[in-house]
């Protein structure tokens, strides 16, 4: 399988997002580096089920791509940067 070439600007944007959030950085480091994630890849890192991911998709919490062809079961690709930005709003900080 050929390696996916990362976009330098995407990497910089992601680094800025993760800079002040060590917990989010741990999650990002555990996720695949692909710009598009599948719901099951997220559930392997976070203690949530795919139903939660699909509920977030239906609520448009982050950017995603509908990869469905024809009448098959819905399949989605989740934009990694958008998902990490969404997660950053859900991290509670201890003060």
- Could you state, in order of their start, the residue ranges of all structural domains in the chain? 8-88
- CATH code, 8-88: 1.10.10
pTM of the prediction? 0.79
For residue 12, pLDDT over 50 is answered with: yes
Paired strand residues for 64 = 78
pLDDT tens profile 43-94? 999 999 999 999 999 999 999 999 888 777 788 999 999 999 999 888 876 6
Q: Where is 19: in which H helix or E strand?
A: helix 8-19
φ, ψ (nearest 5 deg) of residue 50: -60, -30
| Band of pLDDT at residue 95, cut at 50, 70 and 90 | low
Dihedral, CA of residue 33, residue 36, residue 40 and residue 41, to nearest 10:
0
User: Which 8-state DSSP code applies to residue 35?
Assistant: S
Closest among 63, 87, 85 to 16, alpha carbons compared? 85
């Amino acid at each position: 399988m050929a390696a996916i070439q990362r976009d330098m600007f995407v990497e910089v944007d992601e680094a800025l997002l993760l800079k002040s959030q060590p917990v989010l950085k741990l999650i990002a480091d555990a996720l695949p580096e692909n710009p598009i994630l599948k719901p099951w890849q997220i559930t392997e890192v976070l203690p949530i089920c795919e139903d939660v991911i699909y509920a977030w998709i239906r609520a448009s919490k982050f950017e995603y791509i509908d990869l469905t062809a024809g009448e098959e079961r819905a399949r989605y690709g989740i934009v990694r940067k958008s998902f990490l930005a969404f997660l950053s709003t859900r991290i509670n900080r201890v003060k």
